[in-house]
Chains A and B, each alone.
Chain A
Amino acid sequence: MKLEEHLKKYFNYTTFRTGQKEVISSILEGNHTIAMLPTGTGKSLCYQLSGYLLKGQVIIISPLLSLMQDQTEQLMMNGEKRVIAFNSFLTPQERKQALSQLNTYKFIFLSPEMLKSDFILNRLRELQIALFVIDEAHCISQWGYDFRPDYLKLGDFRRKLGNPLTLALTATATPEVKEELISSLSLKNWNEYIYSVDRPNIVLAVEVIDSYHDKSDRLVELVQNLEGPGIVYFSSKKMAEKMTIHLKQNGIDRVMAYHGGMEQENRVLIQQQFLHDQLDVICATSAFGMGINKENIRYVIHFHMPLQLESYLQEIGRAGRDGMKSIALLLYSPGDEQLPFQLAEGELPSEAQLDFVYHLLEEKNNSINDLGELENELISLSGLTEVQWRVVADYLFGNTKEPMQQRYVQLKVFINERLQVKRKKINDMLIWTQAQLNGCRRKNILKYFKEDKTIEIDDCCDQCGIDLTVFYPKTKNHKTADNFFDWKKHLAKILLVSERG
């Protein structure tokens, strides 16, 4: 059977998107494969379809809980029940049960912390592993923004599994990151499929706006005029909520906020309403978008500057998946960069917090074996977030051969380095944003990823010159909620009417 027929059979699609077929063929021919496919092109399909065509289990290492959640949901929505995700959401009971019947699953997702567990490793070794997938493979790079120390254990983990057939996936990575990946996995032979991060159908624009107040006015104007559906990204939950109210007060009905602080049931409803065109605009934090397969998003506006160009690309990449012209618009006011700097710092433990933890540990010198009990105390006393704590714990308790003092110094060095990396990324983002005089934005963003801009595009960016009215709808069809509601008819539509007649 041809690959397209399998695609039709398993996913009901008729054609592959850029790169998918090449990557899948490479895997099926038994090659280790590195694939850099731009956001929005269906990376996960590469391992999903390959998995169905190979005998044995697919193991996927995925760095983000929300991402893992979305991917498992996607599979389940497609009717696949043999999916399990090992992460901190699993209760010990569920985990035990899942481990005892591991061979009944087809797709096994692991969060990076699980790479440390010998128990899981040993259970996995009993399986016939068809494919070992490293999702968001750029997390392996110490110079990347998303560096996950646990990813450094990947090479070792993979070796202990007997070097299974491997697929490394990422959306954005520079050549250096790729080299790091290859060396840490000690790959000798591999195929690589590198596609440009460029999405030519997305117009890039930055608007510099004097004040915060003008910015919220401008947002109203844009949302009123641009053809939807669209997403507006914010760096804070509160702002996403506040601007939702502001938009509503200005006559935009079908808008809702979406962020991680909302109740799960509401999150699902809002997301689904957007997918089913019951909403035109979502005011969201970066929690929104992963796993959203909405083809016709026409604009992505950033009300706040993201912390790095990689995230920016990922977020604007949600526009125009149908290949139609779409626009990415970043609203910048002088001083906006303060927030990203603060956010980046907040992600890491502060020096004072480190000192505090260290001294407390010194005091308790001998009881360090009993980490479990100490953990909660340390977290609550130092005020570290869970993410921050994991960094600290990894260094102070990960490698017990070296003396505490030395590990502590290493930790400080590490945190300092991370901070430098993050600051540099924000600066790169800022330079790109402010580059009024430096020419084409597309060229600049490609240069950042060590690519050359090769094709000329009609509506490229604000620097090359664009006409925003291209993105205004031809006909004004402002949808408003209908006032008349017949509950019985509505219920009948849900339960009695069938599309099959």
Chain B
Amino acid sequence: MIESSYHIKNKFPKKNRIILIMDMFVSVNLRLCDMMKNSYLSMIVLYCLHKINGERTIYSILHLLNGKKSSQTIQDAHIFNLTTFFSTFPLLKRAELDMHIDILNKQGFVSTNAEQSYCVTSVGLKQLEEYFKPNPIPANLNGWKFHNLTDLFWERLSLAIQVISHLKNRNSKYLPIQKSKEHHKWLKGYLYKCKLSKDELAEKLYDELVACLETMDGLDPSIFVKRVTGYQIIGLTEAQAADQFDMDEEAYHIQFLSILHYMLEKVGTKQGDFPLLSCMIEDKKRATPLTESSNRTFNLLQMGYRLEEIAQMRKLKKNTIEDHLVEIALNIPNFDISAFVNIDKQKEIKMAINSVSSKQLKYIRELVPDVDYFEIRLVLAKGGEKK
């Protein structure tokens, strides 16, 4: 059956004739053209390749940029110092990444060292330096810390601004820019909880936004403000805004995200100064940034269950639970791993880690043959990112 279905699939490709005909009308492939002039995303990919140093396949970058919540991806993000980029391009496709790699390869910025694995050449390194020196990656970008809050924060904030602007103008006939019923419901509760008059609300929100954005270093608040919609003023789309700032769309995207991350950091640490803004994400802040499954494992650990017991209870492989443990070690600062690797072994492993330049486990293990990979990964995780 499987064989025959494969055959049939080829016979009736999903893309039908129409699409092909339309393609004929479109003479140039615009995207490919755009990419040839060192797009921002190509440079981000080059940067990531530089960081992983040929020790992972290029698809680990895809997972990182997509924000795949697997233990492997999360560990890689930490080990290779790439947490900032986690989940920054959730819609990036495999084929697009391949195209970027292809362009980098053709320009001699990378060379392949194994199947689907590339190293940055000296030309590539120089290119990286030249490209990011005048416009560095914003220091506020923090994909890993805020990945599950960023979209939500923007959707709620943009809706709140629009609605409050219309309330201020006593206009109730307009189309909400966010269509999700959940957001509408949230906003209703939010407005109620604020217990402020329409005018006070608008004024206070304005004050908080200005206070928050004013002190931002290295980023232009206009990048954010141009996107905002209010009474008789419709915000720009990401592409339009990028255009107005004469930026690559991806470069703009990173700057925009950085501003949101900056705001989240600021209102999160100074809740008292930003009651209206911090209240927007109050209900969604989780104590730990763990994936749901790891979180369950963590809870069971805290109840005193052993690794094997948890695997049995949760009907999961031991390997999976080990992955969870590594993720926990990465994210819970005071998590003690000595129950899984004793102190002496930890010392041994740390020495081995420091004496090899690579972060590939097999090289480390060659130096300490009596420990297993899980133990090395735990210690690596606990050691955090080597700066």
Contacts and interface: CB of A to CB of B under 8 A. Distances in A.
Interface of A: 73, 77-79, 212, 236, 238-239, 242, 245, 256, 264-266, 268-273, 276, 278, 338-339, 342-343, 345-346, 352-353, 356, 380-383, 481, 485, 487-488, 490-496, 498-500
Contact of A268 (B8, B22, B175, B238): B175
21 contacts: A242-B25, A242-B30, A268-B175, A269-B229, A269-B235, A269-B237, A270-B237, A272-B175, A346-B16, A352-B12, A356-B12, A383-B9, A485-B222, A487-B225, A490-B222, A493-B233, A494-B165, A495-B164, A495-B168, A495-B202, A496-B168
Nearest to A272: B234
A77 B14 CA distance: 39
Given A238-B23, A356-B8, A487-B222, A276 B234 contact: yes
Contacts of B16: 346, 383
Interface of B: 5, 8-9, 11-14, 16-18, 21-23, 25-26, 30, 161, 164-165, 168-170, 172-175, 177-179, 199, 202-203, 205-206, 209-210, 213, 220-222, 224-226, 228-240, 244
Given A266-B237, A268-B179, A343-B18, A496 B12 contact: no
Contact of B177 (A212, A269, A356): A269
Contacts of B244: 481
Contact of A77 (B173, B224, B232): B173
Given A269-B229, A491-B209, 12 more contacts: A238-B23, A266-B237, A269-B235, A272-B229, A342-B21, A381-B12, A383-B14, A485-B222, A487-B226, A490-B222, A491-B206, A492-B206
Contacts of A236: 22, 25
A259 to B, nearest CB: 12
B203 A491 contact: no
Contact of A273 (B14, B225, B234): B234
Q: Which 7 A-B pairs have the closest CB atoms?
A: A494-B230, A383-B12, A495-B206, A487-B225, A236-B22, A272-B234, A266-B237
B9 A239 contact: no
Contacts of A494: 161, 165, 228-231, 233
A73, A265, A353, A500: residue with the most chain B Cβ atoms closer than 10 Å: A265
A256 B240 contact: yes
Contacts of A273: 234
B210 to A, nearest CB: 6
A339 B21 contact: yes
B169 A264 contact: no
B280 to A, nearest CB: 15
A424 to B, nearest CB: 20
A381 B229 contact: no
B174 A77 contact: yes
Contacts of A268: 175, 177, 179
Contacts of B178: 265
B225 A495 contact: no
A450 B228 CA distance: 50
B69 to A, nearest CB: 22
B196 to A, nearest CB: 13
B203, B237, B239: residue with the most chain A Cβ atoms closer than 10 Å: B237
Contacts of A490: 222, 225-226, 228, 233
